[in-house]
Amino acid sequence: MMIPSTMNYIDHGAGGEPSVMVLTQGPVPTPGPGDVLIRVRHAGVNRPDVQQRKGLYPPPPGASAVIGLEVAGEIAAIGSAVTDWQVGDAVCALTPGGGYAEYCVAPAGSCLPIPHGLSAREAAALPENYFTVWTNVFDRAHLTAGERFLVHGGSGGIGITAIQLAKAFGAQVYTTVGSDEKAAACRGLGADGVFNYRTQDWAAELWRATDKKGVDVILDMVGGDYTNKNLRSLAGDGRLVQIAFLQGSKVEVDLMPVLIKRLIITGSTLRPRTNTEKAAMAAALREKVWPLIARGLARPVIYKTFALADAAAAHSLMESSAHIGKIMLDVAP
């Protein structure tokens, strides 16, 4: 595969509003010994990308400064220590950065084959959400069949993934959304109970829906005043998993429910995890989740696709929260 010396990519300069993002040219990156170079066909747009554009989520040391955490395409080159992949293999990958570009470097262990029955664009919508949900809901919170599960923001990429995987593994699923349209979409994905936080007291409705038992696991990216409500909504031995703080991380919390109900509060961010940890997540997904996707029990929901040059419009849509599902970038034909 011929690799050019330069490529198109999105530069966000010193950061700011979506308008700072412009298409420009620069050198094609070189993979390290344990990396692969991917010719990017499609890239996913995620909320951490918005935070990075604003200057609030810097890339880890050694990672590309280019925005973009998930891609799909073909391997164009492999590092000297890579044995599991070959040039020409079609893959999707979790990347430490660099996805909004025609070529992107990713650790070989963070790559996965495109699941049977999915297009490359659909596969590019998987890594960030599926790695996140798997490690937090199943590895950290140990959600099991028969348990009750609540995910906030059910119509976003994380929420849609969490609803489908929790249902596929036998849980009873509840979610919160901000509109009736989003509520209908989540019910269509299999959610057992959906609460519109704009018109309902979701915590009170959840308490009634669970016969005053609460839920076993909550996946939250809101924080703020949701924190106390989350703790009150958990059943005995319940687990709260925090993955973001859209309403702020600093809040006055009544921790008495933690003692009375033996609760666990945990959380994680994906990007700083080691390559070894991410490779273990990828292996688990390939074994336990990729077959579910092939059977149609889980799949991404794509809301809208933009050209790479229109990344600013994609970010504006993301910040509007009007979307139901994933926002994608088409990078190459």
Paired tokens of 332 = 């190459």
What residues are paired with 78 via a beta bridge? Answer: 36
**How much of the chain, in percent, has pLDDT values that exceed 90?**
99
86-100 tens-digit pLDDT: 999 999 999 999 999
136-194 tens-digit pLDDT: 999 999 999 999 999 999 999 999 999 999 999 999 999 999 999 999 999 999 999 99
DSSP string for 258-272: HHHHT-EEEE--STT
DSSP string for 236-295: EEEEEEE---TT-S------HHHHHHT-EEEE--STTS-HHHHHHHHHHHHHHTHHHHHT
Q: Are 56 and 41 in contact (CB under 8 A)?
A: no
pLDDT of 1 > 80? The answer is no
Parallel/antiparallel/unpaired status of strands 35-45 and 148-152: unpaired
6-65 tens-digit pLDDT: 999 999 999 999 999 999 999 999 999 999 999 999 999 999 999 999 999 999 999 999
* Helical axes 202-209 vs 226-233, angle rounded to 10°: 10
Q: How far is CA 214 from CA 60, 137, 209, 236, 285, in A?
A: 38, 17, 9, 8, 29
Domains of the chain: residue spans and CATH: 6-126+295-330 (3.90.180.10), 130-267 (3.90.180.10)
Whole-angstrom distance, CA of residue 231 vs CA of residue 229 = 5
Average model confidence (pLDDT) across the chain:
97
243-284 tens-digit pLDDT: 999 999 999 999 999 999 999 999 999 999 999 999 999 999
Split at pLDDT 50, 70, 90, the class of 333 is confident
Q: What is the DSSP letter of 310?
A: G
Give 200's contacts (C-beta < 8 A, 6+ positions apart): none
CA angle, corner 252, sides to 246 and 255, nearest 5? 110
